[in-house]
Amino acid sequence: MLVRSRAAEGGHSGTVNAAYGVGIETYDGLAATLTAEVRAVYAAVYAEAPYRDGPAEVAEFAAEWPGLVAQPGFRLVLARAGTGEVVGLALGHLVQPASGWWAGFDPAAAGAGTAGRSFGIAELGVHPAWRRRGLASRLHEALLADRREPRVVLWVRADARAAAATYARWGYRLVGRVPDRPPYQVMCLDRSAAGEANTAPVPP
């Protein structure tokens, strides 16, 4: 079970003790900073197939950062090894029904028709050298801890089979496809159905 010691709203929660000598850090709102180490782990996560992102995509991520941090309910979670290296990240924010997150289908079909009642996971990944240690689950847990939104939405590539299978094990279901970006599918987690909303932390 992840034990979180949260500071004041919008602050840094601190590092928690963890398996494999990896701690979890949580930053809410403007406390989140795009550091060189965040860029580095993002680049490592998405360098492999099926993404094969390069410097241009990392630069695009950096350019979008100010807009991401400005989103309501923004949260950044980092996994940091005992050496100080950031080895995983997750980030997300509140999602409105009219946003592009729900591209390709009616959000009401997923029970997401109420403004401000869904949380969108924009990024979740672990450095290739640190996978298969439960870090993705812990990042996901910390990202949703204390959050009151009963629904979580994310996009996943259809050819990213391992990621899609992981989300399915966590309870996500496929609810639509992104018409102008064929590889991407929309998955949604109904936390209220499992009694997980409004609790902290969320079970892995």
Tens-place pLDDT, residues 17-65: 455 689 999 999 999 999 999 999 999 999 999 999 999 999 999 999 9
Q: Is residue 81 part of a domain?
A: yes
Distance, in Å, from the CA atom of 63 to the CA atom of 79, rounded to the nearest integer, reads 23
Task: Write the burial class of residue 92 (CB in 10 Å: 0-12 exposed, 13-18 middle, 19+ buried).
Answer: buried
Residue 73 lies in a domain: yes
2 is a domain residue: no
Q: Residue 202 has what pLDDT?
A: 33
The number of folded domains in the chain is 1
Strand 86-95 with 75-80, pairing? antiparallel
Residue 20's pLDDT is 64
Look at residue 196 and tell me if it is in a domain: no
The tens digit of pLDDT for each residue in 133-166 reads 999 999 999 999 999 988 899 999 999 999 999 9
The pLDDT tens digits for 104-137 are 566 665 555 454 578 999 999 999 999 999 999 9
Please, what is the angle between helix 55-69 and helix 36-45, to 10°?
120
Asked if residue 195 belongs to a domain, the reply is no
Residue 107 lies in a domain: yes
What CATH number corresponds to the domain at position 70?
3.40.630.30
Q: Give the tokens for residue 189.
A: 């987690």
According to the model, what pLDDT value does residue 78 have?
98
In a domain, 141, yes or no: yes
The domain of 183 spans 19-190
**94 part of a folded domain:** yes
